[in-house]
Structure 1
Amino acid sequence: MEDSPLFNAGKGAVFTHDGRNELDASIMDGKTRKAGAVAGVTTVKNPINAAIAVMEKSPHVMMVSQGADLFAKEQGLTIVDPSYFRTEYRWQQLQKALEKEQVVLDHDGKTAALFADPMMYDYKYGTVGAVALDQHGNLAAGTSTGGMTNKRYGRVGDSPIIGAGNYADNETVAVSATGSGEMFIRTLTAFNIAAQVKYQKLPLEQAAQNALDEVKAINGSGGVIVLDKSGNYTMSFNSEGMYRGTIGNDGKPLVAIYKD
């Protein structure tokens, strides 16, 4: 998905206030609880691969900015000129945001629609995330994003923060989140869901809703995808909609945008 200009991750990511693409990504292995993350990278074609490299090839969990770009290059990952990530649609979205002096969330149709005509908005998607379960019962979660249009340079949201926008533990759940990053960080949304499942034995849907209620209580919005080791899942959100999909052992895909 990072290779598709339709999403706010990799190519087609949104622009910062100063007209750059600063990309974040993270991944977590539920079996070992090892994790890797990068933030503010500008030359790594696929930031999620850089996050994997941090997890597998370094003793660290997170690397940022130029250091993360350099590490990715040292690991032999594909490096591109920053112009690779640019799309005209995202550039125009930035210009409209600058005119209105607003920061635009990628998941909220009501907010984003203020800065793009309806036809252009239909073309736009947001942060990408995935949760997965293998045949051995191991969970994993990954999230990748360009953040928010017109964000201040150096701003980091929840996507690369383990426990906020991403989390996986075989004993509980795998979670990937999208939304108001600052609020997801403040409420540790992903870990909050895992903790409720572990300590309160709550069903996934209830745990996810409780976590999103905490986000809403501090004026945040967004959504989560949650999966447990038995294959149970929920895709919950409190925004206007969330592009989402799932596929199980039967090979039948389910995709949706709005609540109904």
Structure 2
Amino acid sequence: MKRLLLLLLPLLLEAAPAARAQTAPAPTAAADPSRITLVIHGGAGTITRQNMTPEKERAYTEALNQALQAGYTVLQRGGTALDAVEATVRVMEDSPLFNAGKGAVFTHDGRNELDAAVMDGQTLKAGAVAGVTVVRNPISAARAVMEKSEHVLLTGTGAEQFAREKGLTIVEPGYFYTEARYQQLQKALASEKGAVPDQLNTPTKTTPAAPVPTKTKTKTKAGKPQGYAEPPIFTEGRKYGTVGAVALDQYGNLAAATSTGGMTNKRYGRVGDAPIIGAGTYADNQTCAVSCTGWGEYFIRVGVARDVAARMEYGRQPLAAAAQATLDKVAQLGGDGGLIGLDRQGNITMPFNSEGMYRGYIKANGQTEVLIYK
């Protein structure tokens, strides 16, 4: 028996490296700067030329281009897709034009409750926060959840405590106050009081008390928070102002990020699709990266972001066909909105079934396109 083992030992040792090689993770792809791509959206809805002035159109176009350049700079310098989508979304969170971060809409109670999610296509790791009220950049909090905790989704005060412990920027709730968003809430409450049907929320029979906007304790004579700059009032119609980004870096990795303030006049701690992995946000190097914007309840029910990836993975559908088929399912249920998608070959899709969607992309050569209408 011992003789037999001695004879077999060299063969076993020779086979061991081959066995280890089969289970070892695939090496990172060689860098190829020519494949970097970034796609963004700033919300979908009844966005039409008739409701858009040249000044408003220019403001949105400039903001979208600024966001694209922020992410593109990261990719050009060798940064990861994850770094790029976070940088891109932070720019839109800091702008009062979009329903995310600074420009978030108000809840029924006069608060700004923010949701965000991020996902790494290389590892399938993901992080998300929901219902936060004092975190300046929820997308960074979502990334911290992914990288600095064993969880995927944190909510409310727990998410805020986590953000504080991880050293993220915390602000007074009044930081998120904008007059335009507050007036949107007042219109929604007036509509509710008159029992006028609202497409976004079911009217109640009672008359709600008018909420008081949360502001910082330090105020100017005009009563606005110190340093407050009034943005132009954008009344382009009903709009889902979620923002998002998907990116492909020079190493062949995909990532997706989404951030939102939710729906005007939302109640009861409502959470939409944006922070739900597989509904509003998803990324997988084997298929695609997706970020959605639309009527969240329908996007959750369809599992839009994951459904696009699954159609590619199991049905071998190309990105554009998979995205359109999934969005058609949303429409069949009565929902509307759109999405942005990007696959590992750098193919882009930006379908929507609403009147318009703020969207754009930038390629490795710097070619940029920003679009608003159909």
Hey, what's the Cα distance between the residues in 1 that align with 2:287 and 2:320? 13
Distance across 2 between alignment mates of 1:130 and 1:120: 22
2:314 corresponds to: 199
Structure 1 or 2: more helix by fraction? 2
Q: In structure 2, list runs of 5 or more residues that go unmatched.
A: 1-91, 193-197, 202-232
3-state SS of the aligned residue for 1:257?
strand
Indicate the residue corresponding to 1:121 in structure 2: 235
Residue pair 1:165, 1:190 contacting (<8 A) in 2 also: yes
Does the 8 A contact of 1:7 with 1:13 survive in 2?
Answer: yes
Greater C-alpha radius of gyration:
2
**For 1:221-236, what aligned pairs fall within 5 Å after superposition?**
221-236=336-351
Match of 1:257 in 2: 372
Distance in structure 1 (CA, Å) of the matches to 2:164 and 2:284: 30
1:2 has 2:69 as partner = no
Partner of 1:66: 157
Q: Deviations over 1:236-260 (max 9, x none)?
A: 101111000000011011111122x
Give the one of 287, 295, 301 matched to 1:180: 295
Which digits, 9 at most, give the CA deviation of each residue in 1:145-177, with x for residues without a partner? 000001113000000000000000000000000
SS in 2 for 1:121: coil
Within 2, Cα distance between the matches of 1:187 and 1:148? 19
**Which one-letter code corresponds to 1:155 in the other structure?**
R
Q: Which moved more, 1:200-209 or 1:154-163?
A: 200-209
1:32 paired residue number = 123
Quote the offset at 1:218 in angstroms. 1.0
Q: How does 1:1-260 map to 2 (within 5 A)?
A: 1-101=92-192, 102=198, 104=200, 120-122=234-236, 126-259=241-374
Q: Does structure 2 conserve the Cα–Cα contact (< 8 Å) formed by 1:173 and 1:227?
A: yes
Alpha-carbon RMSD: 1.6
Name structure 1 gaps, 5 residues minimum. Answer: 106-118
Whether the aligned pair in 2 keeps the contact of 1:103 and 1:148 (CA below 8 Å) is no
User: How far apart, in 2, do the equivalents of 1:98 and 1:11 lie?
Assistant: 22
Partner amino acid for 1:51?
A: A
Amino acid at match of 2:305: A
For the Cα contact (< 8 Å) 1:243–1:256, is it kept in 2?
Answer: yes
What do residues 91-142 of structure 1 show as CA deviations (whole Å, max 9, x unaligned)?
000000111123659xxxxxxxxxxxxx732498811000000001000000
Moved over 6 A (4+): none
Q: Tell me the amino acid that sits aligned with residue 95 of structure 1.
A: Q
- More RCO (CA 8 Å, sep 6+): 2
Q: Is the 8 A contact 1:158 1:182 kept in 2?
A: yes
Tell me if the contact between 1:139 and 1:173 (Cα under 8 Å) persists in the aligned partners: yes
What is the letter of the counterpart of residue 120 of structure 1?
F
Q: Identity of paired residues, percent?
A: 68
SS at match of 2:270: coil
Aligned to 2:33: none
Check conservation: 2:240, 2:294, Cα contact below 8 A: no
